[in-house]
Structure 1
Amino acid sequence: MRQLHYTPALGAAYGVEVLSFAQLRKMDGAGARTRPQRPDFHVLALVTSGRGAHVADFETYLLREGSVVWIRPGMVHRWSDVDRVQGPLILFRPGFPPDLGPTLAWDLCAPVSWHLPPQAQPLARLAADHLRREHAVREPRPASPALLSHLLAALLLRVLPADTPTAGGGRDRDVFHRYRAAVEEHFTEWHQVADYARVMGYDRRTLTRAARAATGVGAKEFLDQRILLEAKRLLAHTDLPVSRCAQRLGFLDAANFTTFFQRGTGWPPSTWRTADARATRPS
């Protein structure tokens, strides 16, 4: 696996880089884009023409005009088929855009890819082009990071799914947001909902109700899904033995980890890892 770190181009010492699929193909003659990579930065893509496919965290997404892809730091992905895809690619560091207000833009459960309705596509393209043009300004003086960050924020707000909740959601949503943040911080240590309930000051039923209202699954299943996703990432994109993967994820021994993984996927971890084709692996 390629671990990608944010390295801005010469003369672009900002927290954002504006490219295109055409530039990606030109820079990547060896086809590294089709192999799994795990960036520590955000990747936002807007497809303006063409068709293709993209794989993120073991799910395949078909791309067409109006498709949006948002890869968040830590995800594993590959541009499996973008030879005929056109459109802008924006790379940016976490924390570079300003606060976007009460949106789910930074929601870890938000979709990876979606399709903009026809009436929204021209405005999204305009926002992307404005950011691109400003990013390219070098004379009489370079564009400021503050200006670029606000233009990026405008683009993000333009491309968010129309049905993304933008405010509140009541007590259950607030509880779930806290639970989700705690899970993200501690899932390699705490594998029981009771651990989170105790620290957060809620009972298990409250966390289960909040998680189900927000995601459709209970608190325990939400936690297990997060652990399972990281297990897949480690198995597919590192050379760590199964026992070390188990340790990384907080399991006391490899046998417990194998039982957990097989219950979640139907496959033991070693078999899942060595499957001949990624397409044969359960998602």
Structure 2
Amino acid sequence: MENGHGAVRQLRYLPAIGSAYGVEVLTFAALRSMDTQRRRVQPQRPDFHVFALVGSGSGTHEADFRDHQLTEGGAVWIRPGMVHRWSDIDACDGPLILFRPGFLPGFTASEATTPACWQLDRQRLSLALLAAEHLGREHSAAAHTPRLASPALLSHLLAALILRALPDTSHSTGAAQPGSRHTEVFRTYRATVEEHFTDWHRVADYAQALGYDVRTLTRATRAAAGTGAKAFLDQRVLLEAKRLLAHTDLPVGGCARRLGFRDVGNFTTFFRRQVTMGPAAWRAAYSTAGTRGV
């Protein structure tokens, strides 16, 4: 995708030799050594998950229009389709794990509600780093001795790492618990939104397709994601609108059509209701901020 800031790289999951198990364990140092041209500082959109822990050092990272300071104890979870860039990780150290969608089943609700970056306290960081080290050793053993390879074991170790590192808000008493009916309904709703948000803009469309009523989807989404079903849907459409405006040269009318709006007026009204300015004005403001390095 092209705009005034250059291309957004579409990154495909291409495992290294010996890492054909759906997961790969690296470090920030390894990323720097492989990326001598510093392409990591440019916007990129992976089709896989990136999970990282900052064991030491500091830096900066941008994910879907939000800047994040990285310090010791920082956790980063980039999900497929997110536009992000490693603004400055020259002084960061710690594990960096890449894994395919579907390699870690059952985390749909966490993917939707966990921020791109958050902070762990010292005790939780220590435990998370131990979990990452265990995953790294098993991954290395699988790569060097294929008879020891166990994708199921790697998947369980990755799940343990992410469960250990998830922010405390994911375990609040008001949140839907894994395996609950609300969680299962929300997972189904979220997956269907991801598939149809450019065509279906009403919660009633999803309710009809999934065999639920609107109130059921609203309750489940509020329990799992902390917001109503309509707000969740609107935020997904808005995020894609911002990605198109920021990272492509599509005119506003083209963005509207790509997102399923019948005319540019409806799209402008929708966008303005969400961010208090029209799409053309938002694009101009984002472009100006980018040229200042903000």
- TM-score range (shorter-chain normalised) is 0.7 to 0.9
Q: Which runs of 5+ in 1 are unaligned?
A: none
**Identity fraction in percent:** 61
Matched with 1:198 is: 208
Cα displacement string for residues 91-114 of structure 1 (whole angstroms, at most 9, x for unaligned residues): 1111224x45xx666532222222
Q: Answer 1 or 2: which has greater helix percent.
A: 2
Distance 2:278 2:27 in 1: 40
Q: Is the 8 A contact 1:47 1:67 kept in 2?
A: yes
- Measured after TM superposition, the shift of residue 66 of structure 1 is 1.3
Identify if the C-alpha distance between structure 1 residues 119 and 75 changes in structure 2 by more than 3 Å, giving closer, same or farther. same
Identify if the C-alpha distance between structure 1 residues 187 and 50 changes in structure 2 by more than 3 Å, giving closer, same or farther. same
Q: Which of residues 236, 255, 262 is equivalent to 1:252?
A: 262
Matched with 1:144 is: 149
Cα displacement string for residues 130-172 of structure 1 (whole angstroms, at most 9, x for unaligned residues): 2222323354546414243333233222222244247258655
Matched with 1:58 is: 65
Identify if the C-alpha distance between structure 1 residues 9 and 87 changes in structure 2 by more than 3 Å, giving closer, same or farther. same
Matched with 1:118 is: 122
**How high is the TM-score relative to the length of structure 2?**
0.83
Partner-residue secondary structure (3-state), 2:112: coil
Distance 2:75 2:262 in 1: 40
Distance 1:74 1:194 in 2: 26
Q: Select the structure with the greater relative contact order (CA < 8 A; seq sep ≥ 6).
A: 2
Report the AA paired with residue 256 of structure 1: N
The number of residue pairs the alignment matches comes to 279
Distance 1:169 1:148 in 2: 22
Q: Is the 8 A contact 1:52 1:85 kept in 2?
A: yes
Report the AA paired with residue 260 of structure 2: G
Distance 2:166 2:276 in 1: 34
Q: Does 1:78 align with 2:95?
A: no
Distance 1:125 1:257 in 2: 45
Distance 1:216 1:94 in 2: 24
More deviation in 132-141 or 63-72?
132-141
Q: Cα RMSD between the aligned structures?
A: 2.8
Identify if the C-alpha distance between structure 1 residues 168 and 71 changes in structure 2 by more than 3 Å, giving closer, same or farther. closer
**How high is the TM-score relative to the length of structure 1?**
0.86
Q: Is the 8 A contact 1:105 1:160 kept in 2?
A: no
Distance 2:157 2:147 in 1: 15
- Measured after TM superposition, the shift of residue 230 of structure 1 is 0.9
Superposed, which structure 2 residues align to 1:20-169 within 5 Å? Answer: 20-97=27-104, 99=105, 106-137=110-141, 138-141=143-146, 143-146=148-151, 147-165=153-171, 167-168=177-178
Q: Which runs of 5+ in 2 are unaligned?
A: 1-7
Q: Is the 8 A contact 1:15 1:145 kept in 2?
A: no
Matched with 1:8 is: 15
